[in-house]
Copies of this chain bind each other. A is one copy, B any other.
Amino acid sequence: MLAEIISTGAELLTGATLDTNAHYLAKELQPLGIQVQRITTIGDEEEVLRKAFQEASQRSKLCLVTGGLGPTDDDRSAQAAAQAAGTELEPNPTARKYMEEFFRTLSRPLTSTDAKQALLPKGAEAIPNPKGTAVGFSLQIHQCHFYFMPGVPQEMKAMFEKYVLPKIKNTLQTPHHGLQTLTLFGCREAEAAEILNDFPQLFPQIQLGYRVHFPQIQLRLYYPPKANLQNALDWLKQKVGKWIVSWQGRFLEEEVPHLLQKLGLKIAVAESCTGGLVSDLLTNFPGSSQFFLGSVVAYSNSLKQHLLNVCPQTLQKYGAVSQEVATQMAKGIQKHSQADLGLATTGIAGPSGGSEQKPVGTICIAIAYQNLSHSWRFCVDFREREKNKLFFATMALESLRRHICKKYNLKT
């Protein structure tokens, strides 16, 4: 079923308010297999609203409208809807009843300004507002069924979930579409797209979408009930398997915490070039204190020696950006914190500080686990300090994920 969403309100066009309603509604319709083909944001003028409703009624079978139901002069959705449907406003007794009930719970009398909200287009069906005074309504305009809801997000969501969504589900005769999301790290979107170029021909029933969360990518597969999803997944594994970090669409900053929680492992981190970002990402996970003990961000060599027991000779011989120093940092934080795992980063995020042997983009990562340690060195420069930091931190998480999967015999 084709649908559209119309957000109304001058405040959305001046940038004063960010519209989150349309995004919320689109997300709710998606798993029902309803295809939102357009979202329109317009102001408060009656004529503009009427035109937009009429246009939508010719394109779609379902239209969700938010805003313009309040008691003030710039609330004109009902009037415009009546015009678009070729009818007029009339007092709606059910709407009036819903409003009186709500005002009773507030112990407040209904003013004449408020009462304006009980005027609805002829033929409209009133919808209660569980969280406010503005009554919603549904109305058929040409081929399209419209639901008019308030613009205040809380009120809109409450009305949608309780009344509108069940009505929409009832009218649906098709089974739902599924969504499977995979996360990739290590390739660019363009690279993945080139490799997966044949997908639409091979699996015409399945829609493949991309979403970038730098430096990670999500592949999103929308599939109808009878599609052979497994074949598509097997093909993807063959093509981009080496980059897949999660078959559940988790990003590394979620996948690593999941693994650590599942295995009951505790981690501590020693950071240099990532400057606290690895710790920040891990502690964005609610309940991270269960697996994250802490970290040392050792920018200065003196702190590397003092708090992480990095040996001055190693610093002198190999330099601060070296696998040797990374290894000592990982061991140092593991020992201090008594964590199961120590993870360390040292590198050059730029824009300055690079040399011929160690250009900007060089990153050394080390992991200390039990009595063993492993270290790696890579070099990728995105020409932006913050991007480099984020790439380094993600690389550290990926190194850790691979290490854990290997040690515990887990498949990605």
Contact = CB atoms under 8 A, between A and B. Distances in A.
B294 A283 contact: no
A40 B39 CA distance: 6
Contact of A336 (B210, B278, B307, B389): B307
A211 B151 CA distance: 11
A255 B396 CA distance: 30
Contacts of A18: 20, 23
B299 A296 contact: no
Interface stretch (A65-73, A162-170, A240-248): A65-73
Nearest to A10: B209
B303 A299 contact: no
A388 to B, nearest CB: 11
Interface stretch (A24-32, A87-95, A398-406): A24-32
A152 interface: yes
Interface stretch (A120-128, A188-196, A229-237, A364-372): A188-196
A385 interface: yes
Contacts of A27: 14-16
A386 interface: yes
Nearest to A300: B293
A27 B15 CA distance: 4
Given A71-B193, A211-B16, A106 B300 contact: no
Interface residues of A, number: 102
Contacts of A1: none
Interface in A8-54: 10-20, 22-30, 35-43, 48
A11 B303 contact: no
A111 B280 CA distance: 35
A313 interface: no
Interface in A57-104: 70-74
18 contacts: A14-B26, A16-B210, A38-B48, A41-B41, A73-B193, A106-B381, A106-B382, A106-B383, A107-B381, A111-B194, A271-B279, A283-B297, A289-B300, A292-B299, A294-B299, A295-B296, A296-B296, A296-B307
